[in-house]
Structure 1
Amino acid sequence: MDEQNLIDMANRIGEFFESMPDREEALDGIADHIRRFWEPRMRRTLLATLDQPPADNEMSAIVREALLRHRASLTPVAPAVV
């Protein structure tokens, strides 16, 4: 998965929600969109970029904040091994 492409996609989602007057609603909207429409591998890769220094990627501040705030609910659950 191309990290930069995922960051670019997340930034576009962030741009849409950033125009909302209620910042909390915008942060929740970003996380909800990513949770509902991104497959687990995409979310895993994007969340892994949060552990890199901010200067290493071009993630917008609102997207970074949304991901950090909602990290637990965005982290895919590992499938049960039988």
Structure 2
Amino acid sequence: MNSQSLINMAKQIIANQAIADPREAADALVLHLKKFWAPQMRKELTEALEKNPDYSSDVLNHAIRDLQ
């Protein structure tokens, strides 16, 4: 799976949560990623966002910090 697809998938998960508070949305994303994504996918997402910070968001930034 390419890195842009992983970023898009993570953003879709955030959108589907429909949580207004960024901190709560990040927590929900972390829970989802830990529950349903393979460790390699989480690693690739983290690396993709480090290489392409323009594709990130506040929620993704919080979530990535919590994953590490």
Q: TM-score range by the shorter chain?
A: 0.7 to 0.9
Identical-residue share of aligned pairs (%): 32
Partner of 1:27: 26
2:46 and 2:64 in contact (8 A); partners too: yes
Distance 2:59 2:35 in 1: 18
For normalisation by structure 2, the TM-score amounts to 0.78
Among residues 48, 62, 67, which one is paired with 1:65 in the alignment?
62
SS in 2 for 1:20: coil
How many pairs align? 68
Which digits, 9 at most, give the CA deviation of each residue in 1:1-27, with x for residues without a partner?
A: 30000000001011123x324443222
1:14 and 1:60 in contact (8 A); partners too: no
Query: C-alpha root-mean-square deviation of aligned residues, in Å?
Result: 1.8
Spell out the pairing of 1:45-56 with structure 2 (5 A cutoff).
Answer: 45-55=44-54
Q: Which has the larger radius of gyration?
A: 1
Q: Any stretches of 5+ residues in structure 2 without a counterpart?
A: none
Q: Any stretches of 5+ residues in structure 1 without a counterpart?
A: 73-82
Distance 1:52 1:31 in 2: 20
The structure in which a higher percent of residues are helix is 2
Q: Which one-letter code corresponds to 1:62 in the other structure?
A: V
Which digits, 9 at most, give the CA deviation of each residue in 1:32-52, with x for residues without a partner?
A: 001110011111100112322
Distance 2:22 2:58 in 1: 12
